[in-house]
């Protein structure tokens, strides 16, 4: 699991997984493990068609419990009320893969199979991830059924494009498992950021000196990606301004890819006026090299400077300070600071100089290129805390909860 997606204990403790007949049914096993790693208990229902592709025992062996297969004729059935139980104990229902037949049943309210009965009796949040032949997916009947389910509040993780099991090309294959995994977590998570629009800057910037070489830093963007995903899981509308090499983000997050510090400032400034909060995690280069005389779009050759040369650096704009100075009173600003020494004094100083509501600081050895983070947090009200050896997803979750409490 990618470090910025490894959330744990973010919401409801129980999820019910429905698996329909599809070659992609075996991939649902990975989803069971991923949700379990996130601290979620998983039960499952396999339709009769799904059992042609994967067995109930396989799900049970991975820890899914109970595993339902038939409503009445199975002597090993865990309960005579198998058609009702998921709705009584689970906080979210995810059907992945969802076949065209099951989607039609759900849209029409038919209850002629166990999974369809469970869905009809389920009052929590529902997610479907279709997988089928591209012609079946694009058929007007399927699209009408999908539209009906969306109108009823069902979240749809649309199928991906590419080659399907039957050999055809098009949209129909099961979506990226990361999308489905996160959709399940979002259905379990508190939607306490619904209606809030958050901008997150993340990753490094690249300051080009010629057409080939650039000045940068080793930031991976993992911390910022964790903040962006955490905000999205909690219902926020997220605008992510991403430097080079930053991690994958779910389709529900608006991604703006940038290169240099000036490019990042331009992209951030374009979305900042519509946002309620900005979280500035990006490791922006403070300086950029001045291109050589022949122009920055060409390669500077060794023969052009046989005796060596000097590089002049010019200061870059301060993105956090610039946008914090140009905000509405109700907009909230959170900055990040990476330091090599005097962390707490530096954080307190930047809280004032940047005019931020909160600064999150870490020493270089505690945050760059590591799976976890140790941070010192201070806000404008005088509150200060040190969070030691937390995963970056835990830091992100705590940060957003702190921001909501202000």
User: Each residue of 135-145: pLDDT tens digit?
Assistant: 999 999 999 99
**Which two structure tokens, joined as six digits, stand for 224?**
């910022």
What integer is the mean pLDDT of 42-63?
Answer: 96
Q: Is 60 exceeded by the pLDDT of residue 307?
A: yes
d(C-alpha 396, C-alpha 237), whole Å: 16
pLDDT tens column, 245-262: 999 999 999 999 999 999
CB-neighbour burial class of residue 104 (10 A; exposed 0-12, middle 13-18, buried 19+) = middle
Q: Which of 400, 393, 403, 396 is nearest to 39 (CA)?
A: 393
> In the beta sheet, which residues pair with residue 280?
201, 335
Backbone dihedral region of 147: left (phi > 0), alpha (psi from -120 to 50 degrees) or beta? alpha
Greatest pairwise CA separation for the chain in angstroms: 87
| Pair type for strands 214-215 and 277-280 | unpaired
Nearest of 397, 13, 18 to residue 185 by alpha carbon = 13
Tell me the HSE value of 273 on the side-chain side, using a 13 A CA sphere.
Answer: 3
Domains by residue range for the chain, with CATH = 14-188 (3.40.50.1950), 197-405 (3.40.50.10300)
pLDDT tens-digit series, residues 210-240 = 888 899 999 999 999 999 999 999 999 999 9
pTM of the model: 0.94
Annotated binding site: 286, 299, 317-320, 336, 350, 354
Lowest-pLDDT choice from 79-83, 105-109, 255-259, 281-285: 79-83
Whether 166 is a known active-site residue: answer yes
* Category of 130 on φ-ψ map: left (φ > 0), alpha (ψ -120 to 50) or beta: beta
- Are 263 and 269 in contact, with CB atoms under 8 Å apart? no
Q: What digits encode the pLDDT tens for the residues 146-186? A: 999 999 999 999 999 998 888 889 999 999 999 999 999 99
Q: Give the separation between CA 29 and CA 162, rounded to whole angstroms.
A: 22
- What are the Cα distances from residue 288, in Å, to 174, 293, 300, 317, 318? 44, 15, 16, 10, 12
Catalytic residue among 117, 166, 242, 275: 166
Compute the distance between CA of residue 326 and CA of residue 347 in angstroms, rounded to an integer. 21
Distance of CA 3 to the CA centre of its chain: 11
Count of positions (residues) in the chain:
406
What's the CA gap between 29 and 67, in Å, rounded?
A: 12
DSSP letter assigned to residue 290: P
For residue 221, what pLDDT is reported? 95
- Per-residue pLDDT tens over the stretch 102-131: 999 999 999 999 999 999 999 999 999 999
Mean pLDDT of 301-307: 84
Q: How many CB atoms lie within 10 A of CB 163?
A: 12
pLDDT for residue 113: 92
Taking CA 186 as the corner, what is the angle to CA 184 and CA 19, rounded to the nearest 5 degrees? 15
The helix or strand, by DSSP H or E, that contains position 346, with its residue range, turns out to be helix 343-353
Question: What pLDDT was estimated at residue 373?
Answer: 83
Residue 204 has pLDDT above 70, yes or no: yes
Please enumerate, by residue number, every residue annotated as part of a binding site for CTP: 286, 299, 317-320, 336, 350, 354
């Amino acid at each position: 699991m990618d470090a910025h997606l490894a959330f744990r204990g973010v919401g409801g403790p129980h999820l019910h997984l429905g698996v329909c007949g599809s070659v992609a049914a075996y991939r649902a096993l990975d989803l069971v493990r991923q949700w379990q790693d996130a601290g979620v208990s998983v039960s499952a229902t396999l339709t009769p068609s799904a059992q042609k592709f994967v067995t109930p025992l396989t799900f049970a062996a991975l820890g899914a419990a109970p595993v339902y297969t038939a409503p009445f004729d199975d002597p090993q059935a865990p309960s005579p009320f198998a058609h009702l139980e998921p709705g009584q104990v689970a906080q979210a229902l995810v059907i992945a893969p969802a076949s065209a037949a099951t989607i039609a049943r759900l849209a029409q309210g038919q209850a002629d199979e166990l999974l369809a009965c469970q869905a009809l009796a389920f009052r929590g949040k529902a997610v479907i991830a279709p997988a089928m032949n591209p012609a079946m997916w694009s058929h007007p009947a399927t699209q009408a059924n999908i539209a009906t389910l969306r109108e009823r509040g069902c979240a749809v993780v649309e199928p991906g494009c590419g080659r399907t099991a039957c050999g055809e090309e098009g949209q129909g294959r099961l979506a990226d498992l990361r999308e489905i995994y996160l959709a399940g977590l979002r259905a379990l998570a508190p939607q306490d950021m619904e209606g809030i629009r958050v901008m997150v800057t993340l990753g490094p910037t690249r300051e080009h000196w010629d057409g080939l070489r650039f000045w940068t830093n080793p930031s991976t963007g993992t911390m910022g990606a964790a903040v962006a995903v955490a905000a999205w899981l909690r219902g926020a509308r997220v605008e992510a301004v991403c430097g080079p090499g930053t991690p994958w983000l779910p389709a529900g997050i608006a991604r703006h890819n940038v290169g240099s510090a000036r490019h990042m400032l331009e992209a951030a400034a374009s979305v900042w006026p519509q946002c309620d909060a900005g979280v500035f995690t990006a490791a922006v280069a403070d300086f950029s090299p001045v291109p050589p005389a022949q122009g920055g779009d060409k390669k500077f050759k060794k023969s052009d400077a046989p005796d060596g040369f000097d590089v002049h650096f010019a200061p870059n704009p301060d993105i956090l300070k610039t946008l914090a100075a140009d905000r509405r009173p109700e907009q909230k600003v959170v900055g990040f600071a990476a330091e090599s020494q005097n962390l707490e004094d530096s954080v307190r100083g930047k809280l004032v100089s940047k005019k931020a509501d909160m600064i999150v600081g870490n020493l270089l050895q505690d945050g760059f290129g590591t799976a976890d983070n140790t941070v010192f947090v201070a806000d404008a009200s005088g509150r200060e805390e040190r969070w030691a050896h937390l995963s970056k997803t835990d830091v992100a979750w705590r940060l957003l909860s702190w921001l909501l409490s202000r």
